[in-house]
């Protein structure tokens, strides 16, 4: 990624995913593909319709995947994804053609999700559930092991993992999603969310413990 030269964008936001300890396998799909060329990004910045379409195709799954994992359900995720692309469209003049836009999009998407966590609607939803309230989750995951079709098993596993992640408190959920799916290091996450490295490490460890408890059946 071109962001390796400089850990910040011109607007001062943290550029995630520039190496460090997170394994390459954990990088998001957007990071695995080569970024668009400078010429292509200039066309995007000039709001050429075809270039905007290609930009959308290139990054939609990345944005939606991140937002869907950070938020609790599909409806919230679609709302937030729409808001992310609206913000991107409005700020497209600020797109730096010399850099991979993926970290910029990650920051916008994270900020949109954070704003939604702070909204009263999501707070009400949050109060109604906790990890301890979900005794049946790991059992259901265990039952799915007997499903013969591999695809169905993988789909069910994905659904239950997502459900387990959504049960985590937001501070833990964001660390898991940003580290394990976006490939950000703990230092990068600490800068993005405004916490210390030690706090992030603790949150990540607690999140894995909580998920281990929720998913113990499938983990054997």
Partner 1 sequence: MSSQDPIRNDPDSALSPAQLRVQALLRSTEAPAAREDFRIRLRQRFSSGDFEVGEDLRSSGAARPSPAPRSRWKLRYGVPLAAAAAVVLMFSLWNPGTTWEVMSVAANTAHVNLDGEEFSCDDLSLIQAALHPGCKIEVPEGGQIEILDQGKLVLQLNGSVAVTLPSLPFRWFGSTLESVFTGRGTLRVATAEQFAGTRYRLRSAGVDLEVTGTTFAVIQTEDETCICVLDGEVVATLPDGSKRSVSGGRRLTIRRASGQIEEGEMHPEERSQLRELRMRTDHIS
Choice from 32, 74, 98, 143 touching partner 1 (CB under 8 A): 74
Q: Tell me the window of 33-41, 125-133, 142-150, 160-168 that interacts with partner 1 (CB under 8 A).
A: 160-168
Binding mask 184-203 for partner 1 (x = CB under 8 A): -xxx---------x---x--
* CA angle, 41 then 191 then 7, to 5°: 40
In this structure, are residues 111 and 14 in contact, taking their beta carbons and an 8 Å threshold? no
Q: What is the spatial distance between Cα 80 and Cα 69, in angstroms, rounded to a whole number? A: 12
Q: How many CB atoms lie within 10 A of CB 97?
A: 15
Q: Check the CA dihedral 23-28-32-37 and report its sign.
A: negative
Spell out where the chain has E strands. Answer: none
Q: What is the spatial distance between Cα 140 and Cα 151, in angstroms, rounded to a whole number? A: 17
Choice from 5, 94, 126, 145 touching partner 1 (CB under 8 A): 94
Q: Least separation, in Å, of the C-beta of 120 and partner 1?
A: 17
Residues near partner 1 (CB under 8 A) are: 10-11, 21, 23, 25-26, 28-29, 47, 49-50, 52-53, 56-57, 60-62, 64-65, 68-69, 73-75, 77-79, 81-82, 85-94, 154, 157-158, 161-162, 165, 176, 180-181, 185-187, 197, 201, 204-205, 208-209, 211-212, 215, 218-219
């Amino acid at each position: 990624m071109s962001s390796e030269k400089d850990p910040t964008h011109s607007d001062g936001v943290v550029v995630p995913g520039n190496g460090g300890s997170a394994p390459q396998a954990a990088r998001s799909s957007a990071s695995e593909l080569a970024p668009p060329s400078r010429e292509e990004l200039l066309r995007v910045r000039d709001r050429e319709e075809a270039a905007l379409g290609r930009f959308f195709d290139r990054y939609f799954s990345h944005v939606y995947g991140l937002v869907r994992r950070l938020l609790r359900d599909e409806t919230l995720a679609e709302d937030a994804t729409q808001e992310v692309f609206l913000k991107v469209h409005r700020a497209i003049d600020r797109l730096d053609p010399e850099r991979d836009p993926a970290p910029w999009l990650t920051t916008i998407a994270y900020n949109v999700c954070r704003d939604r966590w702070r909204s009263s609607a999501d707070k009400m939803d949050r109060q109604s559930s906790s990890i301890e309230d979900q005794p049946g989750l790991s059992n259901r995951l265990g039952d799915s092991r007997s499903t013969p079709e591999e695809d169905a098993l993988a789909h069910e596993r994905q659904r239950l993992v997502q459900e387990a992640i959504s049960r985590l408190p937001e501070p833990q959920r964001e660390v898991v999603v940003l580290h394990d799916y976006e490939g950000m290091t703990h230092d990068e996450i600490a800068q993005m969310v405004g916490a210390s490295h030690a706090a992030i490490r603790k949150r990540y460890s607690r999140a894995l413990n909580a998920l281990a408890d929720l998913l113990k059946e499938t983990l054997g």
